[in-house]
Amino acid sequence: MHSRVSRRNSRVSWPRIVLACALFLLVATVGIAYTRSQLKASAASVKWTKVWSADFSGPAGAGVDKAQWLYETGHGKFGNGSIETMTSSPQNVHLSGNDELDITAVHQSGLWTSGRLRSVAAFTPPAGGEMQVVASIQQPDPGNGLGYWPAFWLLGEGIWPEHGEIDILEDVNTLSDHSGAFHCGNLYQKNSDGTLGPCHEYTGLSSRLQPCSQCQDGFHTYSVIVDLSNPDDGQIRWYLDGNEFFSVQETEVGAATWDEAIDHGFWIILDLAMGGSYPDQTCHCSAPDRATSSGGTMRVRNVAVYRA
């Protein structure tokens, strides 16, 4: 009698269990969809206030506005293994005359020269708010681009990498790609994979190279948002033409590392390097080589910083 009742009860309970599971999955799915729609609505409703901007109006061949930009010049001083000498020469950095900045890599007499600019002002993400940094850029398009390394990025005031670096745009070897990355922490913590620190240096926490269709053919919008609106878990999000492609959470690196890397000012940097660690690692070669074309240009229309 007891065994018959048990079997009967088990036959009755299985449909109930199946029904309960189905209801649970339905509620969970609806809940996730609703949460995502809430997040999208919240992001769309953010009211941004422009706090700084730079355009590049002026006569063709002129230099940049020194009230906004510093030329960072020299050879072998930037820690990325690149081979060019950065100069303030108009052949490397000049206004186009069409409201654009041109940064051009030139090969002459066996040497490469190029340009690197750093904003005079530094910009701090607001506590409890958000900061967005955005630029419209056309990547270089030389005939042979092996070794080209265009970049738009933020460098934290202080010591690298403890005080942070946020790479908004990097491409190498004119692959028509793009990538974003976050550098942080220290170089004393060795990870099991051979990398260093919570940001896995020296590559950082990276999106790795992703396709960027027609990024050499025209201007595209590259941006990053540092979001501190959640006091328990900050976030950095990267966008190409308004579409998010990568993010890093505070919890991935730890609160202490995050605070040291984020809670201070960042300079904006625009540069076009030649050769170095990223191009070499990508091509598994030593770049540039003899076939690399001279005269490739990174063009920038505007740069802006917003807070919410």
pLDDT of 33 > 70? The answer is no
pLDDT of 135 > 50? The answer is yes
pLDDT digits (tens, 9 = 90+) for 142-164: 999 999 999 999 999 999 999 99
Which CATH number does the domain housing residue 186 bear? 2.60.120.200
Global pTM? 0.86
Note whether 57 and 35 are same-domain residues: no
Note whether 69 and 3 are same-domain residues: no
Note whether 40 and 173 are same-domain residues: no
Note down the domain range covering 29: 1-45
Note whether 142 and 35 are same-domain residues: no
Q: 220: helix, coil or strand?
A: strand
Looking at residue 46, its pLDDT comes to 86
Residues 287, 277, 87: CA angle, nearest 5 degrees = 75
> What is the number of domains present in the chain?
2
Note whether 171 and 23 are same-domain residues: no
pLDDT digits (tens, 9 = 90+) for 82-107: 999 999 999 999 999 999 999 999 99
| Distance between CA atoms of residues 216 and 78, nearest Å | 25
Helix segments in 157-286, DSSP class H: 255-262, 277-283
